[in-house]
Amino acid sequence: MTEADLLHDALTLTPDEESLSAHLTGDFSNGPIAAPPEAGFPFGGLLAALCAGAMRQGLDLKAPLRSLSVQYLAAAKYGQPIHFRPRLLRGGRKVAYAVVEGGQGARLTHHASATYGADGETPQSLTPLLTPPPSLDSLKDAPGISGPMAPRFSQHVDYRFDGGPNILGGNESKPVVERVWMRTKDGAPLDELRLCYLLDALYPPAWTAFTAPPMMTTVDLRYDFLTDPTPDTAPDGWAFFEYRLLDHGLGWSVDEAVAWGADGRPLALARQRRKLL
């Protein structure tokens, strides 16, 4: 089975009597390639995409996704389906609110809420005046993520780092920032599900600040979608991402990610809270 087939299957939700189900495989573990999938947990970006997909598919929502907040209540297990039960809280003419619960048997693993809404005309618009990211072609020979310690989910992503990767202390005593062009290897246009996947498709930024990375687990993850990607802003599915550590201490690590289009327009942002173990 090709990487494109694996990702397509991983994002597929199948209706059953009371829910939508997805099958989790070890191909999308956050553990290293050199270890069995059980050395890690199912990748949080994939699970966020499944939560978003379950609400859209199960509730037949048509408006663009504008925000998504996922709580990771318990680690899902490989080899058995995870069932998603979406519910519409309110569906208005301009904005709709939805929630979904995901679980395996009687065990609740995820809870998510989302806001959907169509764009409209605005008398005044303001976009941050930022320099466009380095061109994709200028980094065609840039390194990616490889080797036995690369997480399994990274096998489904193309990476072109701008000055990285800096994992295992490369950003020690420096701003804890990673900048990278990314796309999913299936070659599909960048859509909301693949953007959910990519916004989490990097090691925790704190792992670049320490030569011995602290162990941590995601507690909650929030996405805000600002501009829908187009073939012009995300050519061949590529977008530019900047991951930044915001705070690390008191038992928590908090970081953010911003996705930029090729023209420098912000596409989406994420904020993630991780519990230090």
Fold of 3-119+132-276: Porin (2.40.160)
Q: Please check whether residue 111 is in contact with residue 56, taking contact to mean a CB–CB distance below 8 angstroms.
A: no
* CA–CA distance, 10 with 153 (Å, rounded to integer): 11
Which residues lie closer than 8 Å to 194 by C-beta, 6 or more apart?
A: 49, 183, 184, 188, 237
- Token pair in block for residue 255: 């970081």
Is 129's pLDDT higher than 70? no
68-93 tens-digit pLDDT: 999 999 999 998 899 999 999 998 87
72-100 residues labelled b (16+ CB within 10 A) or e (exposed)? bbeebebeebbbbebeeeeeeeeebbbbb
Task: Provide the residue ranges of all domains of the chain, joining segments of one domain with +.
Answer: 3-119+132-276
User: What confidence tier does 213 reach under pLDDT thresholds 50, 70, 90?
Assistant: confident
* Phi/psi at 208 (5° precision): -90, -10
Q: Which residue has the tokens 């990748």?
A: 43
Report the chain's terminal Cα–Cα distance, integer Å.
Answer: 36
How many CB atoms are located within 10 Å of the residue 134 CB?
15
130-172 tens-digit pLDDT: 777 999 999 999 999 988 888 999 999 999 999 989 999 999 9
Which residues lie closer than 8 Å to 15 by C-beta, 6 or more apart?
A: 58
* CA–CA distance, 266 with 127 (Å, rounded to integer): 8
1-60 tens-digit pLDDT: 677 789 999 999 999 888 999 999 999 999 999 999 999 999 999 999 999 999 999 999
Q: Whole-model pTM?
A: 0.95
Mean of per-residue pLDDT scores for the chain:
93
User: What confidence tier does 271 reach under pLDDT thresholds 50, 70, 90?
Assistant: very high
224-255 tens-digit pLDDT: 999 999 999 999 999 999 999 999 999 999 99
